Amino acid sequence: MKRVLYILVTVLVLIFCYNIKAATKIAVANIAIIFDESPERTKIAKKLETEFKNRISELQKQEVELNNRIKQFQRDKSTMSATEAKNTDTDILYQKETFTKNVQAFEEENQHRQIEERDKILNNIKKIIQKIAKKENYNLVLDAKDILYISNIKDITEEVLKQVK
């Protein structure tokens, strides 16, 4: 719904700008390409990998321990007393739940950090686009991915990329 509204507003703005017949300058920039080619993106990916390296190792270790415990329980189950088997099964279920909660917490934190870092990059890109728009006197800069067709409009993606790098 938001995307449809955004496209509708963009089209209305373009129609309005076209009808003004003033010296309106419009440009487009492909934010996705700029983001993908940003050297900051790879730096941040490495930074996050380092940041979460220990937690990933710990989760992998917990997973191996849990799987080993399950295998051992399945092997030894027939020789255990009913009480011992029930207690071990309960312990394994608790260990599975704990592991699942740890994985979910890790995934949430990892996703939060990725979004946080992505937003920093996008804000930097936005500032660069605004700087170029002011310098070149563009009245409107649109994201190229949201435009189906437009002609005779300046694409400033390469200019932004040069400043991002």
Tens of pLDDT, residues 31-68? 999 999 999 999 999 999 999 999 999 999 999 999 99
Q: What is the pLDDT of residue 147?
A: 85
Q: What is the pLDDT of residue 24?
A: 78
Give dist(CA 56, CA 106) in Å, integer: 8
Give dist(CA 88, CA 130) in Å, integer: 62
Could you give the 3-state DSSP secondary structure of residue 155? strand
Could you give the 3-state DSSP secondary structure of residue 65? helix
Amino acid letter, residue 125: I
What one-character DSSP code corresponds to residue 37? T
85, pLDDT greater than 70: yes
Q: What is the mean pLDDT of residues 110-124?
A: 95
- Alpha-carbon distance values, 150 to 26, 32, 129, 142, 143 (Å): 10, 18, 19, 11, 12
Cβ neighbour number for residue 136 with a 10 Å cutoff: 13
Whether the model clears a pTM of 0.75, i.e. scores above it, the answer is no
Q: What is the mean pLDDT of residues 136-162?
A: 89
How far does Cα 64 stand from its chain's mean position? 29
Q: What is the pLDDT of residue 8?
A: 45
Give dist(CA 128, CA 122) in Å, integer: 10
In the block, residue with structure tokens 């076209």: 18
Residue 23: pLDDT band (50, 70, 90) is low
Could you give the 3-state DSSP secondary structure of residue 29? strand
